[in-house]
């Protein structure tokens, strides 16, 4: 699954950066987007604009082009507090 496919409120773990150049990859790593990092999708801008995500330390906006090249694994919501 790609980061760009997440819906607002969904959480995921970063798996890999596919096809992102070295300079851009270094910038993403410096902002906390490292493999296995947990992220949350906050919102998608209309008309193909940037999307906003939150990492452990910051909230940031990413271009759709970058988000389409970041592979993520969806983190399923926990069932805590649910009475069976």
**DSSP letter, residue 76:** P
pLDDT in tens, 69-84: 999 999 987 644 455 4
Mean pLDDT of the chain: 87
In order of start, what are the domains of the chain with their CATH numbers? 3-75 (2.30.30.90)
C-alpha distances in Å from residue 31, one per residue of 15, 38, 69, 73, 80: 16, 13, 16, 19, 31
- pLDDT value for 66: 87
pLDDT in tens, 4-42: 999 999 999 999 988 889 998 898 888 888 899 999 999
| DSSP-based three-state secondary structure for 45 | coil
- pLDDT value for 80: 45
């Amino acid at each position: 699954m790609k980061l760009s496919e997440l819906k607002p409120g969904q959480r995921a773990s970063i798996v890999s950066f596919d096809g992102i150049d070295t300079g851009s990859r270094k910038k993403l790593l410096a902002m906390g987007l490292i493999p296995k990092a947990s992220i949350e999708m906050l919102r998608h801008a209309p008309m193909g604009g940037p999307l906003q995500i939150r990492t452990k330390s910051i909230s940031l906006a990413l271009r759709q082009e970058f988000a389409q090249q970041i592979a993520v694994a969806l983190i399923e919501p926990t069932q805590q507090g649910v009475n069976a």
